[in-house]
Amino acid sequence: MNGMSVDVPEMEELLRPVPVARYGDDADGAARGGALHLSSLLPALACAIGHPTPTAVHRDPDEAHRKLGLPEVESAVVVLIDGLGYWNLAMRLGHAPYLRSLMNEPANQRPISTCAPSTTVAAMSTFGTGTCPGLTGMTGYTQRNPETGELAQMIQFRQAIAPRDLQRQPTVFELLRERGVRVTSSGLPKFAASPLTEAALRGTDYISNVAPRDRVLAAADAARTPGLTYLYIRDADKIGHTYGWDSDKWIGTFERIDAQLALLRRSVPKGTLIVITADHGMVSSDPQRRIDIAVTPRLAQGVAMVGGEPRSVMLYAQEGEDPEDIADRWRGFLGDGAQVRTRAQALAEGLFGPVEPRVEPMIGDVLVSAVGSLTLVDSRIQTAQAMQLPSVHGAHTMLEMDIPCLIDLA
């Protein structure tokens, strides 16, 4: 017990892989997923404000609305805190009086699942469209551009297919706007027209403010009109990558985020629904368990290009190389330090949800998901800073995959 009302497992358990989360309304018999998934949040919220909005994955949004337990309201604010996984939150509740008050409610002591890989690019598009990486074509921090064969970086869309050409699913925001519903985003000016916003979160009236307090108050003001408001908070992820999610600097950031959320709660009109979630959790990396593919011949053999990120690597095979042979070499080398799947195995397991044929070549021929505190880097293409991040994410462990879905009614 962590001193509150949430039992936090031992770190060894938090760093073990969890079952594959299932997508869609017919997945409720699965161990994870169904309505309790990041993909269901916007369809459920659209239903809560009286405008059911089916998606390619959630064709019955009322089912998600009901199972998530959202009340019916005229106005809702959804807050996505980058990098604040459920268990990261639970282990630091002593620093967050507002979030602690929410976590005392039994309905909020239930984590939901993010997508695989547990990383911002894949999760933001999963969230924004109410679908899955296999349909959005956003499958990792870096992935192959099948039009050029180059490795594309998907935060800034460097060497990537244009955002609207790559990500063709309508966002829930777009679908609501087509019905005349107010949809508003409150965020930093630099994200207003970013490629990631255009791909994953397009369709809102975007309100830009530099100061966090101003962004919170703008979201609260927007909520005075019936509709849906989206507020993005990035600092937990940014500070976690720079200093570690368990550092004093991260804790200070967490305290400020809690204060921003409490301000939002005080400022929204009575009757406003607030839902707080995240895109992924974070794990602390271990420098002693960092493997550089570039200087490990057994791992580099047969691999033409390395994509993904240090916790979730995608390997693209050289021409004529059998992905099964690559996977076998990696399994033999890493043992229980990682889950190794071929693309065919990952698709059969539903790791990315349903996958469009055009998306398949974007996904690696072999997929490697870290277990424990392992990281896999490639000094041929990554900077020293990128290889030495103190906290990372992307894999399929409980700590990375479990995210909050905290519900508050003002």
Predicted confidence pLDDT, tens digits, the chain (410 residues):
344 468 999 999 999 999 999 999 777 566 799 999 999 999 999 999 999 999 999 999 999 999 999 999 999 999 999 999 999 999 999 999 999 999 999 999 999 999 999 999 999 999 999 999 999 999 999 999 999 999 999 999 999 999 999 999 999 999 999 999 999 999 999 999 999 999 999 999 999 999 999 999 999 999 999 999 999 999 999 999 999 999 999 999 999 999 999 999 999 999 999 999 999 999 999 999 999 999 999 999 999 999 999 999 999 999 999 999 999 999 999 999 999 999 999 999 999 999 999 999 999 999 999 999 999 999 999 999 999 999 999 999 999 999 999 999 99
Do both 122 and 219 map to the same domain? yes
Burial class (CB in 10 A: 0-12, 13-18, 19+), 336: exposed
Residue 3 is assigned to a structural domain of this protein:
no
pLDDT (0 to 100) of residue 3:
40
pLDDT (0 to 100) of residue 27:
72
* DSSP state for residue 280 in the 8-state scheme: -
Among residues 32, 203, 44, 193, the alpha carbon closest in space to that of 118 is found at 32
- How far apart, in whole angstroms, are the C-alpha atoms of residue 157 and residue 242? 22
pLDDT (0 to 100) of residue 99:
98
| DSSP code per residue over 343-383 | HHHHHHHTTTSS--TTTGGGS-SEEEEE-TT-EEE-TTTS-
Do both 159 and 215 map to the same domain? yes
Do both 261 and 200 map to the same domain? yes
pLDDT (0 to 100) of residue 1:
34
Residue 5 is assigned to a structural domain of this protein:
no
Do both 81 and 162 map to the same domain? yes
Residue 6 is assigned to a structural domain of this protein:
no
Residue 21 is assigned to a structural domain of this protein:
yes
Range of the domain at 67: 11-284+397-409
- How far apart, in whole angstroms, are the C-alpha atoms of residue 7 and residue 176? 38
Residue 172: CATH number of its domain: 3.40.720.10
Strands (E), 25-115: 75-81, 112-113
pLDDT (0 to 100) of residue 29:
64
pLDDT (0 to 100) of residue 28:
59
- How far apart, in whole angstroms, are the C-alpha atoms of residue 33 and residue 106? 19
Do both 79 and 169 map to the same domain? yes
- Please tell me the total count of domains within the chain: 2
Do both 58 and 111 map to the same domain? yes
Residue 2 is assigned to a structural domain of this protein:
no
Chain centroid, CA 268 distance in Å: 26
Residue 113 is assigned to a structural domain of this protein:
yes
Taking the whole predicted model, whether its pTM rises above 0.95 is answered as yes
Residues 186, 212 contacting (CB under 8 angstroms): no
Residues 344, 338 contacting (CB under 8 angstroms): no
Burial class (CB in 10 A: 0-12, 13-18, 19+), 267: middle
Residue 22 is assigned to a structural domain of this protein:
yes
- How far apart, in whole angstroms, are the C-alpha atoms of residue 329 and residue 365? 14
Residue 313: CATH number of its domain: 3.30.1360.180
Strands (E), 122-212: 142-144, 151-153, 182-187, 205-208
Token readout for 232 is 């993005």
CA angle 212, 126, 102 (to 5 degrees): 50
pLDDT (0 to 100) of residue 207:
98
Phi/psi of residue 389, each to 5°?
-60, 130
Do both 343 and 266 map to the same domain? no
Do both 150 and 243 map to the same domain? yes
Helix spans in 179-322 (H): 195-200, 212-222, 235-243, 248-267, 297-300
Single-letter code of the amino acid located at 39: S
**Residues 6 or more apart in contact with residue 317 via CB below 8 angstroms:** 302, 303, 304, 323, 326, 365, 366
